[in-house]
Amino acid sequence: MGAIVFIVGAVATLVTVAPLFLGTTPFPTVAYLVSMLMAVGFVVAAVGVLRTVGEQRRQAKSAVAASAASAASASPAASPSAVA
């Protein structure tokens, strides 16, 4: 989602800057406001990346905890048959 918004903003930026180099009449203010979507798209993409990283870290921690719990319950010292 963020990448799409960023691309729309980047295209709008190119379109609004082109008349400055071509010597034609500049676009209205709305076109410049649409070019601000480039920054918004960057922020949305960055937030998405950070949320994904957080989710992966939580999954990794739970997998390590589950692995440690299963290893502790499977150890011979913890089983009742090893005591007798």
pLDDT tens, 13-44?
Answer: 998 998 888 888 888 888 889 889 999 999 99
Label residue 37 exposed, middle or buried (CB < 10 Å: 0-12, 13-18, 19+). Answer: buried
According to the model, what pLDDT value does residue 44 have? 93
Q: Per the confidence metrics, is the pTM higher than 0.75? A: no
So what's the pLDDT on residue 77? 57
Q: Which pLDDT band, with edges at 50, 70 and 90, does 2 fall under?
A: confident
The closest of 80, 75, 9 to 42, measured between CA atoms, is 9
72 against 81, higher pLDDT: 72
DSSP 26: P
Contacts of residue 72, Cβ cutoff 8 Å, sequence gap at least 6: 78
End-to-end CA distance of the chain: 62
Rounded percentage of the chain residues whose pLDDT exceeds 90: 42
